Structure 1
């Protein structure tokens, strides 16, 4: 089982949408007790994956079950939007990522960022560094797509790298990062998920199938 957590409502559904899959027949959606589950079944590959729609508030309870990895989805197209509990969307997203990574440090995490095309296109007009007025330890104040992506990756790697003060850093779960362009459809995203989870299973579970 893989808890699927979106930073905002609709993020997970946008990525796990069977209608834009290259193999929609492999997907089934269940909604029992108000909880959505995306079931991905590929008998030809001997794989069955259950992605459980999980709110951040319910994650601790879900982690008590048999969990293989965690899926976290955000939307880079919203990076400079104001946010209630943070200065802007990207700060809130990275804060949430930090919390999730800390809570689930023993598990592999699949981190998908949608809206990459919009994010890249706006870096000349609204550079990412403007979203961090205090600098946050970064000295690169350059506009442009390359500078924006480098700054974002530095901030993600700062969280996803070896944990500080961990008793056994070797037990820290791997992080699988994917930048998705919504305009290209979801098929690539689903193939990335399949590839990432197959690697997780091989490294941590010793084989197939998994739920």
Structure 2
């Protein structure tokens, strides 16, 4: 059985359902063509509507399933039959082609929406990281004693480095390898190979108030 799906009231008003099939488990050719065309109309209405949600995604999914099931029922019921009349192909082919094009367009729209959502999430993460780093630099600038704890800065993904020295003293005692690793973690290029120059660059970046040169 392939009963017609339950539609939202707005969808049913905007796109009235076709006449019920006489035998839902054995639709006729004309009923099959109507089912495919109705799925096309519902999808087109969903994609073109502006403002309120007249046709919902659930309406599209339900109608698409019913339309495809109708086509499957027709194919199964008529598989052993002789070759269909010559006019069947020209009638159904453009309808099915349009339906496939709409499916592709619908998928592209969903992909674009997902990409926009990802970009928004990435931007939100970056803003959170910038706010954290601004506050961290203010705190670090106030640290004057060797044992004062520092606040690690985050990268663009809002992640702290695994090897950030905990205190001012440990930071100033960090070796060249640690300094270079931190600069690369933050996407900074060391100025040159001199230890004091590289460490000064790193101190300036994290907001530590110190003069090494």
TM-score (norm 2): 0.27
TM-score (norm 1): 0.27
Choose between structure 1 and 2: higher helix proportion. 2
Q: 1 or 2 for the larger relative contact order (CA 8 Å, sep ≥6)? A: 1
